[in-house]
Homo-oligomer: A and B are copies of this chain.
Amino acid sequence: MTDSTRRPGFSRRDLLAGLGAAAAGTIAAGAGALPAASVSSWDMSTDVLVAGSGAAGASAAIEARRAGAEVLVIESLPRFGGSSAMSAGVVYAGGGTALQRALGVEDSVEDMFRFISGAGGAHPPLDKIRLYCEQSSAHFDWLVEQGVPYAPQLAGAMTVPMAGESLYFSGCELAWPARELARPAPRGHVPVAAGMTGGRVLMEALLARVKALGATLQADVAGQRLVVAGDGRVLGMEVTVAGERRTIRARRGIVLASGGFIHNREMVRKYAPELYDCAVPWGNVGDQGMGINMGIAVGAAALRMHQGFAIVPMYPPESVLSGIVVNAVGQRFVAEDTYYGVLGDAIAYHQQGRAWLVTDQRSKPPALQDNFVQVAQGNTIGDLADQLGFPKGALQETVAYYNRHALNGEDPLFRKRPGLLRPVQGPPYRAWDLSVKNSFVPAHTFGGLQTGLDGEVINSFGEVIPGLYAAGRNSAGLPGAPYIASGLSVGDATFFGRRAGLAAAGPQAGKKAAAGGRAL
Number of A residues, CB within 8 Å of B:
68
A477 to B361, CA, bound (A): 50
Say yes or no: A465 contacts B30, CB within 8 Å. yes
Complex contacts, A276 vs chain B, CB 8 Å: 122-123
Residue of B nearest to A305 (CB): B305
Q: Is A303 an interface residue (CB 8 A)?
A: yes
Residue of B nearest to A352 (CB): B122
Choose among B28, B269, B294, B466 the residue that contacts A28 (Cβ–Cβ < 8 A): B466
Say yes or no: B463 contacts A122, CB within 8 Å. no
Query: Interface majority SS on A: helix, strand, loop or mixed?
Result: loop
Complex contacts, A414 vs chain B, CB 8 Å: 329
Given contacts A230-B37, A297-B299, contact A32 B461 (CB under 8 A): yes
Looking at A6-14, A155-163, A392-400, the stretch in contact with chain B turns out to be: A392-400
Looking at A55-63, A68-76, A248-256, A405-413, the stretch in contact with chain B turns out to be: A405-413
A289 to chain B, nearest CB (A): 8
Q: In chain A, residues 8-59, which have Cβ atoms closer than 8 Å to a Cβ of chain B? A: 26-33, 35, 37-38
Choose among B296, B329, B349, B465 the residue that contacts A459 (Cβ–Cβ < 8 A): B296
Choose among B37, B121, B302 the residue that contacts A302 (Cβ–Cβ < 8 A): B302
Q: Is A380 an interface residue (CB 8 A)?
A: no
Choose among B32, B123, B466 the residue that contacts A273 (Cβ–Cβ < 8 A): B123
Q: Is A350 an interface residue (CB 8 A)?
A: yes
Please encode chain A, from 208 to 246, with 1 for each CB lying within 8 Å of some chain B CB and 0 for all others: 000000000000000000000111110000000000000
Say yes or no: B297 contacts A30, CB within 8 Å. no
Say yes or no: A30 contacts B459, CB within 8 Å. yes
Say yes or no: B450 contacts A32, CB within 8 Å. no
Q: Is A337 an interface residue (CB 8 A)?
A: no
A27 to chain B, nearest CB (A): 6
Given contacts A401-B397, A412-B393, A413-B394, contact A450 B231 (CB under 8 A): no
Complex contacts, A27 vs chain B, CB 8 Å: 231-232
Choose among B37, B277, B292 the residue that contacts A122 (Cβ–Cβ < 8 A): B277
A153 to B185, CA, bound (A): 64
Choose among B273, B299, B304, B412 the residue that contacts A298 (Cβ–Cβ < 8 A): B299
Q: Is A262 an interface residue (CB 8 A)?
A: no
Further contacts, 17 of them, CB under 8 A, given A33-B232, A302-B302, A329-B412: A28-B229, A29-B463, A30-B465, A122-B274, A122-B276, A122-B352, A122-B353, A123-B273, A271-B303, A296-B296, A296-B300, A304-B306, A331-B331, A349-B350, A350-B350, A392-B412, A394-B401
